[in-house]
Amino acid sequence: MNDIKKLLEDVKQGRVEVDDALLFLKKEPFAELGYAKPDMLRPLMQGAGEVIFGQGKSSAQIMGIVSAMKENGQDRILITRLSEKKADELKENLDLDYYPEAGTGIVGGMKEADGNGRIAVVSAGTSDIPVFEEAALTAEFLGNEVIRICDVGVAGLHRLIARLDDLMAANVIIVVAGMEGALSSVVGGLVDRPVIAVPTSVGYGASFNGLSALLSMLNSCASGVSVVNIDNGFGAGYQASLINHLSPGRKR
């Protein structure tokens, strides 16, 4: 996105010829690798570069995709659902920061926060941390200041109330919860900010690997609560970043 804006500005200022700019824009919009087609227009279409879903891909395939993206100007790359074994293999040829709790790898480091406010990421329990951290790291990677609030589930509401000031100060709130998923409704009833609920597969048998939490969150009576898929911390972090970069933010 920034490269294209700069190109158009250079054309406007006469620093780049129109034909040269047209040639740049006519370049192949994706890299053909056979097993993958990394999308080079993703920043223009969605405001952020393509993200690699590491699960099911070999380390060699991930390395090939990363190389193609870097060759086409995407220096910062997020890799989700990345195992520690694959991360170790990638580190042999790649400058990769790996976050084992989230199963997330980052090439090119974090960017400076440029959102309109802070994103609060809240977990009901410690067992939700893998999804919680995936959401938080995704939001940070996309340029947001993140507040982490762990283990404040409905079994002990005083723990949540103790962090109410942080919740009220956030521009967007992500709530990660398994079991019956009630925490998102509680948070939604306390704040006037968008709440993104993430059901996790944490829980005993009748939680049905997150289905119970998903249905509870979808049926929330608190207005302003939206829901992503089970264990989809990435989707919540991405959505929260979009909101945080478009909304005016809370005045302080």
For the cut 70, the answer to whether the pLDDT of residue 83 exceeds it is yes
The predicted structure's pLDDT at residue 22 = 72
Average pLDDT, the chain: 89
Q: Which of 4, 128, 137, 2 is nearest to 78 (CA)?
A: 137
> What's the CA gap between 187 and 221, in Å, rounded?
11
Tokens coding 122: 């809240």
- pLDDT band (50, 70, 90) for residue 30: confident
**Does 43 score more than 50 pLDDT?**
yes
So what's the pLDDT on residue 16? 82
| pLDDT for residue 252 is more than 50 | no
- CB contact at 8 A, 59 and 92: no
- CATH architecture of the domain 118-246 equals 3-Layer(aba) Sandwich (3.40)
pLDDT of residue 3: 63
- pLDDT, mean of residues 222-247: 93
Question: Does the pLDDT at position 250 exceed 80?
Answer: no
Q: How confident is the model at residue 24 (pLDDT cuts 50, 70, 90)?
A: low
- Position 26 scores a pLDDT of 61
Backbone angles phi, psi at 219, to 5 degrees: -95, 15
Q: Mean pLDDT across the stretch 219-242?
A: 95
Which range is least confidently modeled, 33-37, 52-56, 171-175, 223-227? Answer: 33-37
What's the residue count for the chain? 252
Burial (CB count <10 Å: 0-12, 13-18, 19+), residue 48: buried
Question: At CB < 8 A and 24+ separation, what contacts does 225-230 make?
Answer: 225/184, 225/185, 225/188, 225/195, 225/196, 225/197, 226/194, 226/195, 226/196, 226/197, 227/184, 227/196, 227/197, 227/198, 227/199, 228/196, 228/197, 228/198, 229/199, 230/199, 230/200, 230/201
Domain coordinates in residue numbering, the chain: 51-107, 118-246
Residue keyed to tokens 């790898």: 105
Q: Answer yes or no: is pLDDT of 12 > 50.
A: yes
Sequence-distant (6+) residues with CB within 8 A of 107 are 66, 70, 75, 76, 77, 79, 94, 95, 96, 97
Whether 39 has a pLDDT exceeding 90, the answer reads: no
Q: What is the pLDDT of residues 141-169, one digit of tens each?
A: 999 999 999 999 999 999 999 999 999 99
Q: Is the pLDDT of residue 191 over 70?
A: yes
Mind listing the pLDDT tens digit for each residue in 88-128? 999 999 999 999 999 999 999 998 998 999 999 999 999 99
